[in-house]
Amino acid sequence: MLDLKQDFFALFGLEPVFAINMERLEQAYLDIQGRVHPDRFAHLPDLEKRLSMQWATHANEAFRTLKSPLARGHYLLEMRGVDPAFDTNTAMSAEFLMEQMEWREALGEAQDAADEDALEDLARRIRHSSKTLVDELGRQLDVAGDLEGAADTVRRMKFLEKLQHEINDALTALES
């Protein structure tokens, strides 16, 4: 049915580029899920059931990866032999580091003051910055072939994703 060694783009019949058609991705995912869903194999021997589960799991992982700009960028870099080195390469531009410190300070102040409006405003700013980075990553990967720059952008996106989660947690805590 499926080749579990196939890269995620090939699995869904997509070109290995950052700018993908999300509707095509979703349709290809639904088509594959329709073919490999474990319920379709419930009456078959255990081997076929296990294979179905592996195929469904692989398709789910591939879909989640390609749907997320951060995960898709990371995956493309790895396909091209580049490790963004999230844990070991923390070098960032001075401008981004200053902005990061300002965001962290704003988050702390908003949390201390239990200021929902300030948290919402910070969340909007982070979403805007994230969108800018997604656009930049697309240019770096699909147009310029700037893999080093793309790795840096992926690291910055990872930071913003983590900060967005922290803001969301702070907003949830205020609702409690």
- Transcribe 94-152 into DSSP letters: HHHHHHHHHHHHHHHHHHHHT-HHHHHHHHHHHHHHHHHHHHHHHIIIIII--HHHHHH
Every domain of the chain and the residues it spans: 8-67, 94-175
Q: How far is CA 126 from CA 42, 109, 140, in A?
A: 45, 16, 21
* CATH of region 94-175: 1.20.1280.20
Confidence of residue 42 (pLDDT cuts 50, 70, 90): confident
Q: Which of 87, 89, 64 is nearest to 75 (CA)?
A: 64
Helix-strand-coil split of the chain, %, nearest 5: 75, 0, 25
Of the CATH numbers 1.10.287.110, 2.60.40.1840, 3.40.50.1370, 3.40.605.10, which one belongs to the domain with range 8-67?
Answer: 1.10.287.110
Q: What is the pLDDT of residues 71-129, one digit of tens each?
A: 999 999 999 999 887 777 667 788 988 999 999 999 999 999 999 999 999 999 999 99
Contact assessment for residue 64 and residue 57, using Cβ atoms and an 8 Å cutoff: no
Predicted TM-score (pTM) of this structure: 0.88
